[in-house]
């Protein structure tokens, strides 16, 4: 394996070439990242346990012994049972009427199918069943987004998995460290999907300082090799990237959505609670605008919002209802203007990082020596 210009000790610990970690819902992206020298992590939180098992086995069969990961979102305060009827019964009439209005106004077919958010209820029961499959698999890394409950961390460690916890503020980082997380992802405000209020530049150095010997990956807005070098300069052991992969062929982004992503600038993303009930950075669409308009109801809490809008969002995706068609999307999208491949993104990241390092090394030489002081 050729030595990476950005190799860090974490690369040697894990047996990867570049300290580039990729979050994606697409198994094809995960595979290609691993084959390109990074580490792919499959977002599996909306998959049934048997789908997770199938995907993990498929990825393993395509990458051999290379390490890879799986990510589950494990928020606190969810209902115990996966029972949609209980949640449906608690949905306010005003909110149901607003969803009906969206179906009618945009001619979204009522096809009677669930979407990823509503195929089951985010619940303690489902989280346990999903985690059981992860623990029984040979996946190397168990990543936990939005909360890393101690019982899941200890079970993962007992099963020989490395635990990676996503954190958006120092308080959560302290907790994850105390509970024994092996790797932290410091995910700043710029990032796609669920995100907190602290910007990447403010967050990452606070977390690297606090984490001492525990490796930290910088996330949120990493879109070039220069960002990777900046992350390493802030003490990170690598980067964790989500948005970049959405413009790759391996992501299987819906054809009607792709042009919107390629045209998007950083300010074409907005923070909304209208997808899941928690603050989530999304491509700005008619869907996010409708929920932000005067008179729209306040989105419900998770998992009520998931169930309220889950079928509608599923139908929007299946039928590609363009004005409403959206995705989690970070501010780094401004750097991606052409459809590409995972291997090309990886090559560009590494080449730009090498160039950036070379420029930094020249900095001292480029500054003219002045004599005396003024
Ligand atoms: C479409 C999309 C979906 C995401 N879903 C999840 C998720 O299910 N679990 C999770 O831990 N992080 C999720 N994330 C956040 C990523 O793990 C990552 O932290 C983030 O994308 C990094 O910032 P970036 O988008 O600027 O690259 C998602 C990100 C995107 C873009």
Is it the case that residue 23 has pLDDT exceeding 70? yes
Residue 240 parent element (H or E): strand 238-241
**280 C-beta closer than 6 A to ligand 1:** no
**282 C-beta closer than 6 A to ligand 1:** no
Q: What percent of the chain has pLDDT over 70?
A: 98
User: What is the model's pTM?
Assistant: 0.96
Q: Please tell me the distance from the alpha carbon of residue 51 to that of residue 130, in angstroms, as a whole number.
A: 9
pLDDT digits over 87-123, tens only? 999 999 999 999 999 999 999 999 999 999 999 999 9
Q: How far, in Å, is the centroid of ligand 1 from the Cα of 266? A: 16
Note the pLDDT of residue 285.
98
Using alpha carbons, select from 242, 250, 198 the residue that is nearest to residue 222. 242
| 8 Å CB contact between 225 and 4 | no
Using alpha carbons, select from 77, 84, 59, 80 the residue that is nearest to residue 139. 59
Relative to the CA of 329, which ligand 1 atom is closest? 31
Region 290-301: mean pLDDT is: 98
pLDDT digits over 236-293, tens only? 999 999 999 999 999 999 999 999 999 999 999 999 999 999 999 999 999 999 999 9
Is it the case that residue 10 has pLDDT exceeding 50? yes
Q: Please tell me the distance from the alpha carbon of residue 36 to that of residue 39, in angstroms, as a whole number.
A: 9
Q: Please tell me the distance from the alpha carbon of residue 339 to that of residue 324, in angstroms, as a whole number.
A: 21
Q: How far, in Å, is the centroid of ligand 1 from the Cα of 192? A: 5
pLDDT digits over 46-97, tens only? 999 999 999 999 999 999 999 999 999 998 899 999 999 999 999 999 999 9
Using alpha carbons, select from 39, 258, 7 the residue that is nearest to residue 143. 39
**32 C-beta closer than 6 A to ligand 1:** no
Note the pLDDT of residue 257.
96
Note the pLDDT of residue 55.
98
pLDDT band for position 364 (cuts 50, 70, 90): confident
Is it the case that residue 223 has pLDDT exceeding 70? yes
**167 C-beta closer than 6 A to ligand 1:** no
Q: Please tell me the distance from the alpha carbon of residue 35 to that of residue 17, in angstroms, as a whole number.
A: 10
Would you list the domain boundaries of the chain?
9-81+120-252+333-363
pLDDT digits over 163-210, tens only? 999 999 999 999 999 999 999 999 999 999 999 999 999 999 999 999
Region 127-139: mean pLDDT is: 97
Half-sphere exposure of 159 (CA within 13 A, CB side): 20
Half-sphere exposure of 161 (CA within 13 A, CB side): 28
> Can you tell me which residue has the tokens 């990543």?
143
**234 C-beta closer than 6 A to ligand 1:** no
**241 C-beta closer than 6 A to ligand 1:** yes
Residue 73 has which token pair? 């979102």
**28 C-beta closer than 6 A to ligand 1:** no
Note the pLDDT of residue 295.
96
Relative to the CA of 240, which ligand 1 atom is closest? 22
> Can you tell me which residue has the tokens 């460690």?
157
Q: Please tell me the distance from the alpha carbon of residue 164 to that of residue 275, in angstroms, as a whole number.
A: 25
Per CATH, the number for 9-81+120-252+333-363 is 3.20.20.70
pLDDT band for position 2 (cuts 50, 70, 90): confident
Q: Please tell me the distance from the alpha carbon of residue 108 to that of residue 169, in angstroms, as a whole number.
A: 38
pLDDT digits over 150-163, tens only? 999 999 999 999 99
Q: How far, in Å, is the centroid of ligand 1 from the Cα of 333? A: 13
Integer angstrom CA distances of residue 304 from 74, 80, 111, 282, 324 = 16, 14, 21, 19, 20
Q: Please tell me the distance from the alpha carbon of residue 52 to that of residue 70, in angstroms, as a whole number.
A: 9
What is the widest separation between alpha-carbon atoms in the chain? 79
Region 220-228: mean pLDDT is: 98
Note the pLDDT of residue 270.
98
Q: Please tell me the distance from the alpha carbon of residue 73 to that of residue 76, in angstroms, as a whole number.
A: 10
Note the pLDDT of residue 374.
46
């Amino acid at each position: 394996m050729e030595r990476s210009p950005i190799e860090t000790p974490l690369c040697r610990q894990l047996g990867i070439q570049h300290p580039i970690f990729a979050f994606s819902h697409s198994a094809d992206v995960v595979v290609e990242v691993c084959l390109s020298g990074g580490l792919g992590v499959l977002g599996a939180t909306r998959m049934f346990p048997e789908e997770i098992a199938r995907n993990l086995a498929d990825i393993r069969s395509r990458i051999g012994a290379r390490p890879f990961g799986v990510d589950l979102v494990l928020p606190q305060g969810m209902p115990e049972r996966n029972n949609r009827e209980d949640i449906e019964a608690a949905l306010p009439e005003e909110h149901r009427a607003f969803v009906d209005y969206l179906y009618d106004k945009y001619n979204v077919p009522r096809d009677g199918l669930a979407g990823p958010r509503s195929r089951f209820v985010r619940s303690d029961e489902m989280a346990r069943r999903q985690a059981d499959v992860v623990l029984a698999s040979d996946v190397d890394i168990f990543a936990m987004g939005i909360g890393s409950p101690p019982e899941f961390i200890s079970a993962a460690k007992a099963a020989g998995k490395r635990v990676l916890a996503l954190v958006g503020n120092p308080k959560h980082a302290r907790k994850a460290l105390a509970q024994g997380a092996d790797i932290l992802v410091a995910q700043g405000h710029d990032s796609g999907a669920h995100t907190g209020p602290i910007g990447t530049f403010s967050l990452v150095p606070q977390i690297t300082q606090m984490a001492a010997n525990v490796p930290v990956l910088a996330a949120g807005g990493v879109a070039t090799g220069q960002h990777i070098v900046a992350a390493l300069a802030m003490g990170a052991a690598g980067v964790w990237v989500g948005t970049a992969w959405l413009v790759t062929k391996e992501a299987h982004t819906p054809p009607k959505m792709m042009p919107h992503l390629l045209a998007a600038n950083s300010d074409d993303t907005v923070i909304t609670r209208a997808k899941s009930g928690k603050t989530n950075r999304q491509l700005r669409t008619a869907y996010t605008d409708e929920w932000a308009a005067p008179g729209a109801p306040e989105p419900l809490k998770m998992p009520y919002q998931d169930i309220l809008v889950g079928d509608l969002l599923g139908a929007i995706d299946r039928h590609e209802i363009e004005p409403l068609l959206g995705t989690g999307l970070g501010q780094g999208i401004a750097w991606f203007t052409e459809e590409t491949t995972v291997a090309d993104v990886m090559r560009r990241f590494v080449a730009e990082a090498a160039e950036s390092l070379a420029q930094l090394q020249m900095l001292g030489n480029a500054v003219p020596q002045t004599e005396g002081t003024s």
